[in-house]
């Protein structure tokens, strides 16, 4: 009996164990499912943590690497960076034409040096690295050029050794003979500039803020004048239209540089051009980078006074007037953009209530300047004008001395309303090739303004080509383009409209005019 009880007790214990194991398995299976879900979440979190750790580790490695950078490496990096335009003195180099000569590749380079600092610099040197040691320098101009151990050294000559504040030395050029054609690609695009033997380190001066200017009240306009009859102008497609929506053609004259021929900015001169020539527009050409230029050594107060006088006289006479930011030797409008921003902010505030004022924001981009540079500049300047003058006509220059309107037509400015594009020509030099560019751009819907032209050679002097001039005007009139002829002065060159022997400042007779002046007077009158 005792043994039987023990057996029963043992069997009961086994049963309890089996039941416990079964319950444990069931509970365990459920737990595994829950744990699997938790494990999935944990795995994702772990992965994220691992990525974060990896990034942190990479950043730490980068920091460690940066900390381990030698002082020499830092100095080298800093020195290379000092050639960019954020610094107050910098140079630009661009490759021009290339050709083969006696088994070698010859490349012509152009270099411009800019002093944006607040003081004059002297004893300057530009160093360009990346030349192979077997390269040789050929012809050079506007600088002394030496090539040693792969570094090209450019030093000043007597006439350009001093650069005034906000001045520049442009047109430095040289030719280099390369043994291998591909070697030219290694030349540095960012030259180093040294002043007095030291790498120039002064930072670009901070931008000035535009001055608040009280809007000027327009003077009373004479009755029966072009503006009184046609009013505020705007664009309709490729055409300039008047206040009645009718096509209108502006026909007139450009001054020469205001700093050089200020005496022709007078009311009687403009009146002669209006009444005797039939002109309805005056272009006020204010050079920016030449001697006496607005951004170099010119008297800005006097230059702005000439602009103000010119605008006032033209307005009183009921004529339209262009305020022309006349870049030329500065080549790229970006070079003096800070000054341009201040200038056009002031002008557009001052003349916001004048309905006859037109703004030409960059005369002739050139020297390798690309349309992308001009467009960048225009897209910055146009909103500055529009902030004050919502709908004035604006003229944008185009590359290659304002000839590449066909390129601009492929990528117009961001805010195209009432914006025209400049084309310039000199009839004895620019013929079918430039006329073709004009027609291509016009056919593409680009509004174009001939804001400067003459009938002589591109130098502003030389031979007069009447046949080419007539072809140009056949096209101009066919397309209803507006124009301003160059230039109102008695300078001894073919493009001047007044004979060099005439000292009259207004009231010119036929005999007082040059050949170009006589031709243009007849053309405008007809």
Active-site residue flag, 339: no
Q: Beta 168-178 vs 136-141: how paired, if at all?
A: antiparallel
Which residue out of 316, 364, 457, 493 is catalytically annotated?
Answer: 364
Does 62 qualify as catalytic in the annotation? Answer: no
Question: Among all chains, which residue has been given the structure tokens 């730490």?
Answer: 60
Nearest to 486 by CA among 510, 450, 511: 450
Residue 237 half-sphere exposure, CB side, CA atoms within 13 Å?
Answer: 12
Is the Cβ–Cβ distance between 288 and 325 less than 8 Å? yes
- Catalytic annotation, pick one of 316, 360, 452, 493: 452
β-bridge pairing 192-195 and 198-199: antiparallel
Paired residues of 115 in beta bridges: 89
3-state secondary structure of 463: coil
CA distance 251 to 282: 9
Integer CA distances (angstroms), 81 to 86, 95, 177, 197, 320, in order = 9, 21, 28, 18, 46
Torsion of CA 401, 406, 410, 415, to 10 degrees: 60
Take residue 100 and report the two structure tokens written for it.
């083969």
d(CA 516, CA 232): 31
Looking at the DSSP bridge assignments, the partners of residue 422 are 449
How is residue 487 written in tokens? 């230039």
| DSSP, residue by residue, 416-434 | -TTEEEEEEEETTT--HHH
* Residue whose token pair is 């390369």: 178
Sign of the dihedral through C-alpha 446, 449, 454, 459: negative
Please name every residue paired with 178 in a beta bridge, in sequence order, or none if there are none.
Answer: 105
Catalytic positions, please? 364, 452
């Amino acid at each position: 009996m005792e043994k039987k009880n023990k057996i029963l007790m043992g069997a009961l214990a086994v049963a309890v164990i089996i039941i416990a194991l079964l319950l444990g398995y069931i509970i365990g299976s459920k737990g595994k499912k829950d744990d699997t879900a938790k494990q999935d979440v944990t795995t994702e979190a772990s992965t994220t943590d691992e990525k974060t750790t990896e990034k942190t580790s990479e950043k730490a490695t980068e920091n460690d690497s940066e900390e381990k950078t030698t002082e020499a490496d830092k100095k080298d990096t800093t020195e290379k960076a000092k050639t960019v335009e954020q610094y107050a003195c910098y140079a630009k180099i661009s490759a021009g034409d290339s050709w083969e000569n006696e088994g070698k590749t010859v490349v012509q380079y152009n270099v411009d040096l800019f002093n944006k600092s607040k003081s004059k610099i002297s004893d300057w040197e530009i160093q360009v690295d990346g030349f192979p040691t077997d390269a040789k320098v050929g012809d050079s101009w506007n600088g002394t050029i030496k090539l040693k151990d792969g570094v090209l050294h450019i030093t000043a000559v007597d006439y350009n050794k001093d650069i005034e504040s906000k001045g520049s030395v442009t047109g430095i050029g040289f030719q280099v003979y390369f043994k291998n054609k591909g070697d030219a690609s290694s030349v540095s695009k960012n030259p180093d500039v040294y002043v007095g033997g030291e790498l120039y380190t002064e930072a670009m001066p901070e931008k000035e803020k535009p001055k608040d200017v009280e809007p000027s009240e327009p003077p009373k306009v004479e009755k029966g004048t072009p503006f009184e009859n046609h009013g505020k102008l705007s664009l309709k497609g490729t055409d300039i239209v008047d206040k009645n929506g009718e096509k209108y053609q502006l026909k007139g004259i450009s001054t020469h540089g205001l700093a050089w021929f200020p005496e022709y900015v007078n009311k009687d001169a403009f009146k002669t051009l209006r009444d005797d020539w039939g002109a309805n527009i005056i272009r006020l050409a204010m050079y920016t980078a030449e001697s006496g230029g607005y951004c170099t050594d010119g008297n800005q107060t006097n230059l702005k006074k000439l602009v103000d006088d010119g605008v006032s006289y033209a307005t009183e006479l009921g004529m339209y007037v262009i305020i022309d930011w006349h870049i030329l030797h500065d080549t790229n409008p970006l070079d003096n953009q800070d000054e341009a921003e201040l200038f056009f902010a002031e002008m557009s505030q001052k003349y916001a209530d004048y309905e006859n004022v037109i703004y030409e924001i960059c005369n002739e981009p050139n020297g390798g300047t690309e349309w992308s540079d001009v467009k960048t500049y225009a897209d910055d300047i146009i909103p500055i004008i529009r902030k004050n003058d919502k709908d004035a006509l604006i003229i944008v220059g185009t590359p290659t001395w304002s000839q590449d309107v066909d390129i601009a037509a492929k990528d117009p400015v961001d805010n195209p309303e009432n914006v025209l594009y400049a084309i310039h020509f000199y009839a004895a030099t620019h013929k079918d090739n430039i006329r073709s560019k004009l027609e291509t751009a016009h056919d593409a819907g680009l509004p174009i303004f001939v804001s400067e032209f003459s009938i002589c050679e591109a130098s502003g002097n030389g031979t007069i080509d009447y046949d080419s001039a007539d072809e140009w005007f056949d096209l101009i009139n066919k397309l209803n383009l507006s124009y301003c002829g160059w230039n109102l002065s008695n300078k001894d060159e073919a493009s001047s409209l007044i004979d060099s022997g005439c000292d009259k400042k207004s009231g010119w007779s036929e005999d007082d005019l040059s050949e170009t002046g006589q031709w243009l007077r007849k053309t405008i009158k007809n």
